[in-house]
A and B are shown apart, each in its own frame.
Chain A
């Protein structure tokens, strides 16, 4: 059956299906119960699965991730909601020193299949600490898988793939896109879905590759649409760690140009890492240096300035123009 779902509702449906399929799957976090989360992503799960499986935790992120590790060690599959990007930081110690390193530390004897769901990114007019894009910290931490979604179809399938993964997965949800809709075939076999680690060509093109993920995929597609001078290919990265370099390289070899865009500050960001790697692997195919279009190296500004801070269509096209000046 094909249903028209928003990204938020698709994650909800994916969580529900995972909980039905495996009684070990738990949902936990602040306000995930009766309220259904501040974005309502866990709406109705508390009513249908009960307070033992949909746990309103105390207001303590370190506690959420730390106890999720313990639950996972005991055979459960906790899916933790961190209410907003900026509130993840109290849980960094548990996530980076413990969650990420359990498997390696135990020489493979232990698995901690924890999912951390984090609504992230800006564009919703919020106050401080509600608009950040912290994915690079996670991508820099070995032992974690880091993914993000750009549409409801991926949202539905990838949350289930994240839950069945034996590795800890950080699942970034683009909060300003929660209400974007798409048709999702909820009866399809899970095997038919694109694997969580794969990038996807979201729009084919021949002149340059625009690489984006999460909330920026939509903006990149709009930019590609708007650029009538060039045929831009848009690649939706989907997995931030590990990166599906094969797909990115294949695209860049064809188009000869790469423009990477993300909401996070450019310096030390995911784009820089990909740029370096592509420069190594595709040097003789590149017609221009890899261009990055991201945010400034400043804290996320007060909301009245976020339209200037977030890369928009014009900033992306400006980056594309630069790639064509070589």
Chain B
């Protein structure tokens, strides 16, 4: 395949074909045993279930909004499984698979979309920062964090590195270019993990850039590689190597996972306005889950019982998520004033007290039979 077109599929690193065949790659050895392969499959299926349930919950009015990861499971699971506990990941807002791998409770993911919190998990505990809505912002945070890791001497063979997730649209932001540059000139231990899911809401990559996105790295002075983003093995092996190189002092790397957002941008979006159905059909044939399933079957790594068990587990997870979502309590109104400042703030204290009185006046009025 040639690399001439800006956004066709130039050579991409692929270790697992859509038919489930393994391909050896000289630069990216796949070191993985049968148990881990089954584990990856389980991850992919369960994360897809979390996503499907969340979309359904939004339709039922339980969530205000949801950004679906459908189709991007392999990119996220593979890359996140390449991380060590001491690594830190900076997500955008669609990284439910990364959150899953980092041990964030699925119900915690729903908080922001349900409108009960702005985050939902402890970033330090999970090595996963909070979701970022303002496009591209997190690329700079990750780079700065990596500069800190570097200064702390926390890198090295057994050390840690940083990974940041962002989309094809995000590559257009000034912040992202600035992050590339800061990372390069500081040789920071950060891996830029770009999920090119082909659409930034309604805009295709051609509206964002004239060159394949992985090539952006070269201009900043670090390597970029495009991988088959629907291939969980490629995602795992390439990210492992990039993280290891980063922590060993070889600086940043850009990984462009060439993948596809099979659903709508968010539950508010109507993709029929800007893309043709045939495109989706084409990508369905490259489904990340089907190909790993085919591989497991071909290699005899799992029997029917295995697949049934994973399916049952997904059902149980879905059920749990539905009830957990409904029982996420609404915050207390006075929560509006919490955690705005670390230090005492008299102005806010005053407003809080006034608001508490105001709320109480309704209770009093209620007791007296109305206003």
Contact = CB atoms under 8 A, between A and B. Distances in A.
Interface of A: 30-31, 33-36, 38, 56-60, 62-63, 86-87, 89-90, 125-130, 267, 296-299, 301-306, 308-309, 314-315, 318
A315 B355 CA distance: 10
B113 A127 contact: yes
B331 A304 contact: yes
A296 B337 contact: yes
A128 B112 contact: yes
B202 A296 contact: no
A56 B202 contact: yes
Given A38-B268, A126-B65, A303 B115 contact: yes
A63 B174 contact: yes
Contacts, number: 121
A306 B336 CA distance: 9
Contact of A126 (B64, B93, B174, B336): B64
A58 B172 contact: yes
A86 B134 contact: yes
Interface string B351-371: 110010011001000000001
A59 B359 CA distance: 42
Contacts of A296: 336-337, 348, 351-352, 355
Main secondary structure of the interface of A (DSSP, over half): loop
A302 B209 CA distance: 34
B133 interface: yes
Interface in B142-179: 169-170, 172-175
A308 B133 CA distance: 23
A302 B332 CA distance: 11
A309 B359 CA distance: 12
Contacts of A34: 202, 273-274
A299 B340 contact: yes
B207 A305 contact: no
B117 interface: yes
Contact of A86 (B133, B209, B347, B351): B133
B118 A298 contact: no
B336 A301 contact: yes
Contacts of A297: 340, 347-348, 351
A34 B276 CA distance: 12
Nearest to B202: A35
Nearest to A299: B340
B157 to A, nearest CB: 38
A129 B169 contact: no
Given A33-B202, A59-B200, A126-B64, A89 B114 contact: no
- The residue among A31, A62, A89, A303 with the most chain B CB atoms within 10 A of its own CB is A31
Contact of A59 (B203, B337, B340): B203
Interface string B330-353: 110101110010000001100110
Contacts of B118: 128, 302
Interface of B: 64-65, 93, 111-118, 133-136, 169-170, 172-175, 200-203, 207-209, 268-269, 273-274, 330-331, 333, 335-337, 340, 347-348, 351-352, 355, 358-359, 362, 371
B173 A129 contact: no
B173 A301 contact: no
Contacts of A56: 202-203, 207
A302 B208 contact: no
B169 A267 contact: no
Contact of B208 (A59, A87, A89): A59
Contacts of A126: 64-65
19 contacts: A30-B200, A38-B268, A38-B269, A56-B207, A59-B135, A59-B169, A59-B173, A59-B203, A87-B134, A87-B135, A90-B134, A126-B65, A127-B115, A297-B340, A298-B340, A302-B111, A303-B115, A308-B355, A318-B358
B347 A267 contact: yes
A129 B92 CA distance: 14
Contacts of B200: 30, 59
A31 B201 contact: yes
Given A34-B202, A36-B273, A127-B112, A63 B336 contact: no
Contacts of A31: 201-203
A305 B201 contact: no
A6 B136 CA distance: 34
A87 to B, nearest CB: 6
A304 B359 CA distance: 16
Contacts of A314: 362, 371
Given A35-B202, A129-B133, A302 B331 contact: yes
A297 B347 CA distance: 8
A299 B338 CA distance: 10
Contacts of B65: 125-127
Closest 3 CB pairs of A and B: A303-B115, A35-B202, A58-B172
A301 to B, nearest CB: 5
B336 A58 contact: no
Given A127-B64, A308-B336, A302 B134 contact: no
A87 B335 CA distance: 25
A129 B355 CA distance: 23
A175 to B, nearest CB: 12
A310 B175 CA distance: 32
